[in-house]
């Protein structure tokens, strides 16, 4: 499953400058849902992205969510930082 998400991230087309906040919400939200299903729990507070961000910051957040271990009680710092 981790490999699937990594391939999805690597072969997705990005804007080299910024990723739209709606796109970040979709991408990271999908990973959060997958991790919550895998772990059987999730952080209590939802994460909403309101600003456009550079691709590197978003990719770091995505990779950290993929690599986080269960139980899934809190978001990785890389995601909270771009919140």
Which residues have a Cβ under 8 Å from the Cβ of 83 and sit 6 or more positions away? 47, 48, 49, 75
Of 79, 81, 59, whose CA–CA distance to 14 is shortest? 59
| Confidence tier at 74 by pLDDT (50, 70, 90) | very high
Q: Which residue has the tokens 């952080």?
A: 43
In the chain, domain spans: 2-81
pLDDT higher than threshold 70 for residue 16: no
Which residues have a Cβ under 8 Å from the Cβ of 61 and sit 6 or more positions away? 28, 76, 78, 79, 82
Handedness of CA 32, 33, 36, 41 (dihedral sign): positive
pTM greater than the 0.85 cutoff: no
Please check whether residue 78 is in contact with residue 24, taking contact to mean a CB–CB distance below 8 angstroms: no
Res 15: pLDDT: 46
């Amino acid at each position: 499953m981790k490999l699937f998400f990594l391939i999805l991230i690597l072969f997705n087309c990005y804007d080299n400058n910024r990723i739209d906040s709606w796109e970040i919400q979709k991408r990271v939200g999908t990973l959060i849902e997958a991790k919550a299903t895998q772990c059987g729990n999730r952080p209590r507070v939802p994460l909403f992205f309101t600003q456009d961000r550079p691709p590197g910051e978003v990719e770091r957040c995505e990779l950290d969510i993929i690599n986080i271990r269960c139980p899934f009680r809190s978001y990785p710092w890389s995601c909270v930082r771009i919140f």
